[in-house]
């Protein structure tokens, strides 16, 4: 009884603390990457400003500098951001280094249930250690790596006939990775409307995370695993399995035979440019960009269609997306928590999706009208059902940069074999985990 009283008293105290700021208007700063969904969030947040009396400022950093800028901010205990929509891989560091506020008590007291969000997003964006009910973020923006293509080209009779003649099958959305490569190779160097076009835009960027995000879109469908036993860090035989080697060789072949010339250091922006300028028949990119692509007056509308990352040995998509966290160094944590409570509201989540953000809330995703609400909505649901993420360890940056180097060395710089690249990757990762005291 005494415990119950204590618990009630603490709950009341936390709840009062959470909303004490309603009387006092704060200026909250939300930090995120500079991209299309961020603009939607600015629009959405106007409702919060009207309801709460707080004002919202935004700090949007271009993607190539986002991780550097934000991780430096967190590591230095900076107070720039009250709320941070940080990448999924930062959750381990955010939690272990004390950058993010743990949200369990707040969720309990405010009646926010993680069961209301898609399980894959809760696992990826909110929990640390992985899969445990320790929450450091609310799923804010579901995302995965998907594909889009020139529907108008795919629909042309002359192109369809040429494809049938070349491959013996009908031109359409690929059902496997190898079919996708075949289509891309078919378009490579083809003359369409007097212009030479190319197969596909894939990720090859060296500096931040580009080529890793691209190559994992091939590795996961081949069945790539980071460890043989989850949590054991036993990578030998998993990271360099025959399937992984085959997938890596596939990605290299894709790069060499089906991408535009000079496509050696390309990521999101270059993929969008290549597609919008009519250079490529297909492109990979994050679902977050799909609303903007569909709305594009030149290559959007009925000229574009979308498909989920095709399976090979199994279904698999690279996870993107982020959770929203309260920064532990913020002086306005109460107001920031208030924002999170507001954001978790199903009505706000519905509006978020309407404006172009990818809600991870079940009430939105399970709505009977969701699949038909956008031409890419069904693909998004499919993708989120088979997503896999990179390591989310506190040392993720070291793990990521090692992979960037090994993969770029092999795929773009043509050094060594796929087997050697993955063997060396295991050596690099082993060294990191030894430094971390996990091996």
Partner 1 sequence: MSDTPVSRAARATPPRVARKIKGLSDRAIAWIFVGPTIFLLLAINIFPLIWTIQLSFTNYKANRIGREVKNIGLRNYERILTDTDIWLNMQATAHFLFWTIFFQVLIGFTLAYLINKKFKGNDLWTTIIVLPMMLSPAVVGNFWKFLYQPQIGLFNYIVAFFTGKEPSSFEMLGSVNLAPWSIVIVDTWMWTPFVMLICLAGLRSIPDYIYEAAEVDRASKLRQFFTITIPMVLPFLMLAVLFRGIENFKMFDLVVQLTGGGPGSTTELTSINLKREAFEKWRTGYASAYAIILFVTVFGLASIYVKALNKVKER
Q: Does 252 bind partner 1 (CB under 8 A)?
A: no
Using rule CB under 8 A, residue 262 touches partner 1: yes
- Contact status, residue 99 vs residue 328, Cβ threshold 8 Å: yes
Of the residues 111, 168, 261, 368, which one makes contact with partner 1 according to CB under 8 A: 261
Q: How far is it, in rounded angstroms, from Cα 33 to Cα 65? A: 9
Instruction: Tell me whether residue 278 or residue 346 sits nearer to partner 1 (CB atom).
Output: 278
Of 10, 51, 57, 72, the one binding partner 1 (CB under 8 A) is 72
Contact status: 427 vs partner 1 (CB under 8 A): no
Nearer to partner 1 (CB atom), residue 48 or residue 66: 66
Q: Min. distance of Cβ 150 from partner 1 in angstroms?
A: 18
Question: Minimal CA–CA distance to 325: which of 103, 73, 17, 64?
Answer: 103
Least CB distance to partner 1 at residue 392 (A): 15
| Per-residue H/E/C for the chain | CHHHHHHHHHHHHHHHHHHHHHCCCCEEEEEEECCHHHHHHHHHHHHHHHHHCCEEEEEEECHHHHHHHHHHHHHCCCCCCCEEEEEHHHHHHHHHCCCECCCHHHHHHHCCCHHHECHHHHHHHCECCCCCCCECCEEEECCEEEEEEEHHHHCCHHHHHHHHHHHCCCCCCCCCHHHHHHHHHHHCCCEECCEECEEEECCCCCCCCHHHHHHHHHHHHHCCCCCCCCCCCCCCCCCCCHHHHHHHHHHHHHHHHHCCCCCCCCCHHHHHHHHHCCCEEEEEEEHHHHHHHHHCCCCCHHHEEEEECCCCCCCCEEECCEEEEEECCCCCHHHHHHHHHHHCCHHHHHHHHHHCCCCCEHHHHCCCCHHHHCCCHHHHHHHHCCEECCCCCCCHHHHHHHHHHHHHHHHCCCCCCHHHHHHHHHHHHHHHHHHCCCC
Among 39, 55, 65, 264, binds partner 1 (CB under 8 A): 264
Q: Taking a C-beta distance cutoff of 8 angstroms, is the pair 99, 73 a contact? A: no
Distance of closest approach, residue 274 Cβ to partner 1, in angstroms = 10
Of 263 and 290, which has the nearer Cβ to partner 1?
Answer: 263
CB of 437 to partner 1, least distance (A): 9
Q: Please report whether residue 71 would count as binding partner 1 according to CB under 8 A.
A: yes
Cβ at position 21, least distance to partner 1 in Å: 29
- The stretch near partner 1 (CB under 8 A) out of 158-166, 238-246, 300-308, 412-420 is 412-420
Interface residue with partner 1, options 95, 245, 304, 397 (CB under 8 A): 397
Q: Does residue 194 touch partner 1 according to CB under 8 A?
A: no
Residues 202-231 touching partner 1, rule: CB under 8 A, are: 205-207
> Which residue in the set 398, 425, 429, 433 belongs to the binding site for partner 1 (CB under 8 A)?
398
Distance CA 276, CA 298 (A): 7
CB nearer to partner 1: give 54 or 405.
405
Instruction: Kindly state whether residue 410 participates in binding partner 1, applying the rule CB under 8 A.
Output: yes
Give the interface segment with partner 1, choosing from 120-128, 258-266, 285-293, 370-378 (CB under 8 A): 258-266
Q: Which of residues 75-114 bind partner 1 (CB under 8 A)?
A: 75, 93, 97-98
Q: Choose one: 12-20, 132-140, 376-384, 407-415; the region binding partner 1 (CB under 8 A).
A: 407-415
Nearest approach in angstroms of CB 427 to partner 1 is 11
Least CB distance from residue 210 to partner 1, whole Å? Answer: 10
Contact between residue 207 and residue 413 where contact means Cβ atoms under 8 Å apart: no
Q: How far is the CB of 96 from partner 1 (least distance, A)?
A: 8
C-alpha 166/C-alpha 151 separation (Å) is 19
Is residue 54 involved in binding partner 1 (CB under 8 A)? no
Nearer to partner 1, 168 or 437 (CB): 437
Positions touching partner 1 (CB under 8 A) are 68, 71-72, 75, 93, 97-98, 205-207, 260-265, 394, 397-398, 401, 405, 408-410, 412-415, 435
């Amino acid at each position: 009884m005494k415990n119950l009283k204590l618990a009630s008293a603490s709950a009341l105290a936390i709840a009062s603390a959470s909303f004490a700021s309603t009387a006092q208007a704060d200026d909250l700063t939300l930090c995120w990457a500079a991209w299309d969904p961020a603009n939607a969030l600015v629009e959405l947040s106007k409702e919060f400003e009207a309801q709460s009396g707080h004002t919202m400022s935004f700090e949007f950093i271009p993607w190539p500098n986002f991780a550097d800028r934000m991780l430096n901010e967190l590591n230095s205990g900076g107070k720039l951001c009250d709320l941070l929509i940080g990448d999924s891989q930062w959750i381990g560091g955010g939690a272990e280094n004390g950058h993010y506020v743990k949200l369990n008590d707040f969720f309990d007291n405010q009646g926010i249930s993680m069961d209301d969000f898609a399980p894959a997003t809760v696992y990826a964006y909110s929990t640390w250690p992985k899969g445990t009910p320790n929450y450091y973020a609310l799923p804010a923006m579901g995302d995965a790596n998907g594909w889009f293509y020139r529907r108008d080209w795919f629909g042309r009779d002359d192109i369809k006939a040429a494809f049938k003649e070349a491959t013996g099958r009908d031109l359409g959305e690929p059902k496997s990775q190898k079919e996708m490569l075949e289509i891309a190779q078919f378009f490579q160097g083809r003359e369409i409307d007097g212009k030479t076009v190319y197969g596909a835009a894939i990720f090859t960027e060296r500096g931040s995370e580009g080529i890793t995000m691209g190559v994992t879109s091939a590795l996961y469908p081949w069945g790539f695993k980071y460890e043989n036993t989850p949590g054991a860090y036993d990578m030998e035989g998993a990271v360099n399995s025959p399937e992984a080697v085959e997938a890596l060789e596939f990605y290299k072949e894709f790069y060499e035979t089906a991408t535009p010339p000079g496509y050696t250091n390309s990521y999101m922006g270059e993929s969008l440019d290549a597609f919008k300028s009519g250079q490529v028949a297909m492109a990979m990119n994050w679902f977050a960009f799909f609303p903007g692509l569909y709305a594009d007056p030149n290559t959007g509308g009925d000229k574009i269609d979308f498909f989920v990352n095709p399976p090979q040995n199994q279904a698999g998509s690279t996870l993107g997306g982020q959770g929203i966290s309260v920064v532990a160094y913020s002086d306005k944590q109460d107001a920031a928590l208030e924002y999170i409570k507001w954001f978790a509201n199903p009505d706000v989540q519905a509006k978020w999706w309407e404006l172009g953000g990818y809600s991870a809330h079940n009430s939105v995703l399970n709505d009977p009208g969701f699949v038909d609400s956008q031409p890419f909505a069904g693909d998004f649901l499919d993708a989120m059902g088979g997503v896999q993420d990179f390591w989310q360890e506190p040392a993720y940056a070291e793990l990521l940069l090692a992979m960037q180097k090994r993969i770029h060395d092999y795929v773009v710089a043509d050094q060594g074999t796929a087997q050697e690249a993955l063997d060396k990757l295991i050596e690099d990762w082993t060294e990191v985990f030894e430094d971390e005291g996990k091996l």
